[in-house]
Amino acid sequence: MDEFTGGRTLVYRSDNIVERRKRILRVARKMIVESGLSGFSVRELAQRAGIAQKTLYNAFGSKENVIALAIRQYMDDFNARMTTSFETGTLEERLERLIKVHSRNVQIRPYTTAIMGVYNSFTADPAIRQVIRHVSEEGLRPFANWLVTTRQLAPGVTLEGFIKLQTTNVYATLTDWCLGEIPDAKLVDHITENFLCGVVSSAKGKIQAEAQRWLEDLRNQRPSWTALRRLAEVPTIDSLELHTEKPPSARSRKKRAT
């Protein structure tokens, strides 16, 4: 299995190595929640994951790579497990995904807040910020590609421009929510309303009319919208696995001491 880590390709050849990598990234996510980016320590990560610091650097290359992979792994795993009721690339499927993703963000508020803190930091490594944007942009791409394929993007609107605008709007809304300016119960509605406004202004034809109808249904809390909300709600589970740390074995403690 190959993994991209900021220009570095890592190859894992055994189940033990793969599991150790997963454990490192689980602990890294917990540390991101606890201390943010500025307080993130590779030495502490190695201790809490039960490995030698040199081994960690050999595997990941840098602190920034560990952080980027920890963020990306959770997002990729969640998206890979997500199932939807609508055809891929359609407006309804995109709405369902938005509801699922941001319902989960409410459940894992400390982690989401930490990620937004990294994203909005002027001192954060650009590669980490790009990883955060990349996951959102790639999640939107099937719908954006469908708009292009069906020729429903408005004149003057480009594929990449549409994707970047929507991603920026999502993270601006998440930041407001993290700051307490949007109640938990309203986050999904705010995210979805902004998305639909973007579609109405960037699309044309049938999809523009559909987006306008969904926007009116959302704003008026009509049965069609509330039914979609119920359909797309996610169960409350700790998919971050933030609490799984493996105490270092006597053998690993001995290795670290030598």
pLDDT at 15: 64
- 76 located within any domain: no
Tokens of 171: 């993270």
Total domains in the chain come to 2
Kindly state whether residues 132 and 168 are assigned to the same domain: yes
The letter for the amino acid at 23 is R
Q: CA 195, CA 24: separation in Å to the nearest integer? A: 35
The letter for the amino acid at 219 is R
Q: CA 214, CA 5: separation in Å to the nearest integer? A: 39
Instruction: Give the domain CATH number at 251.
Output: 1.10.10.60
Range of the domain at 188: 85-232
- Determine how many CB atoms are found less than 10 A away from the CB of residue 250: 7
State the Cα angle at 198 between 195 and 202, rounded to 5°. Answer: 145
Q: Which residue has the tokens 């030598």?
A: 258
Q: CA 138, CA 136: separation in Å to the nearest integer? A: 6
Q: Is residue 210 within 8 Å of 91, Cβ to Cβ?
A: yes
Residue pLDDT, tens place only, 39-87: 888 999 999 988 888 888 888 888 888 888 888 888 888 878 888 889 8
- 145 located within any domain: yes
Q: How far is CA 102 from the centre of its chain?
A: 10
For the whole model, what pTM was predicted? 0.79
pLDDT at 127: 86
Kindly state whether residues 100 and 40 are assigned to the same domain: no
